[in-house]
């Protein structure tokens, strides 16, 4: 959902198939256009307004892509690997004849209330901090070749995963049946778990999540995000 897929084009990095001047023009022209509104939509009118902003954003991107010699959003993957997935998922939410649209509309008011409360009270930040403190010991006991680099990879993977788990936990407990499942589906479709959690640490991450689940007796909904990936 938009909460997980905020993109500000001014912070793009990476190469593109066209020249550097073209990349700079794309970045600076679209830098103030956001993939999400200032507030999460909670009504159908707000959703329509957000979807209108999305279409404006897509038009800006396509105009810039044409200038760079492309007419395919998938080419943006070179500049940002998750951007095509985000565009496709948000577009699906905005299409009124899709199951994802119907499911999002059903739960969006409750989700907005949670996001607003979390922004004010920061309980998901506190949850993530506490969980990472608990996992510090198990992470340090891992057999590491490049200790600092490996532990950084754990942080880069676990911090967003734990934040997502907090979100899904509250949504599952506070909103109507199916809201948590929809949240996981959206994260799978639009998120960057594969990039955030490289294959080299996924088995260890699953072990850490299982240990946390056992210690807290709280379900690790995000476990399926890792187990659904190819693990080496």
In this predicted model, what pLDDT tens digit does every residue of 35-80 receive, in sequence order? 444 567 889 999 998 898 888 888 887 887 777 777 776 666 545 5
Mean pLDDT of the chain: 78
Q: What is the mean pLDDT of residues 8-21?
A: 36
pTM of the model: 0.77
CA dist., res. 21 & res. 33, Å (int): 20
Q: Who's near 35: CB < 8 A, 6+ residues apart?
A: 2, 5, 6, 7, 54, 57, 86, 87, 90
CB 161 within 8 A of CB 127: no
């Amino acid at each position: 959902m938009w909460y997980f897929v905020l993109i500000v084009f001014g912070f793009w990095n990476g190469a593109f198939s066209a020249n550097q001047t073209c990349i700079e023009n794309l970045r600076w022209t679209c830098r103030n256009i956001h993939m999400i509104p200032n507030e999460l939509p909670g009504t159908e009118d707000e959703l329509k307004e957000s979807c209108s902003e999305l279409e404006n954003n897509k038009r800006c991107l396509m105009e810039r892509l044409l200038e760079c010699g492309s007419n395919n959003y998938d080419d943006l993957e070179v500049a940002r690997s998750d951007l095509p997935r985000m565009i496709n998922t948000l577009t699906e939410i905005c299409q009124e004849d899709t199951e994802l649209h119907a499911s999002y509309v059903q739960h969006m008011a409750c989700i907005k209330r949670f996001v607003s409360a979390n922004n004010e009270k920061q309980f998901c930040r506190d949850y993530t901090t506490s969980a990472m403190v608990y996992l510090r010991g198990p992470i340090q006991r891992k057999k590491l070749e490049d200790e600092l680099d490996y532990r950084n990879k754990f942080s880069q993977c676990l911090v967003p995963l734990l934040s997502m788990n907090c979100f899904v936990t509250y949504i599952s407990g506070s909103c109507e049946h199916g809201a948590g499942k929809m949240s996981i589906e959206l994260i799978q479709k639009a998120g960057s778990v594969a990039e955030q959690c490289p294959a080299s640490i996924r088995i260890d991450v699953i072990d850490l999540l299982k240990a946390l689940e056992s210690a807290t007796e709280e379900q690790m909904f995000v476990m399926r995000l890792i187990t659904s990936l190819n693990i080496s």
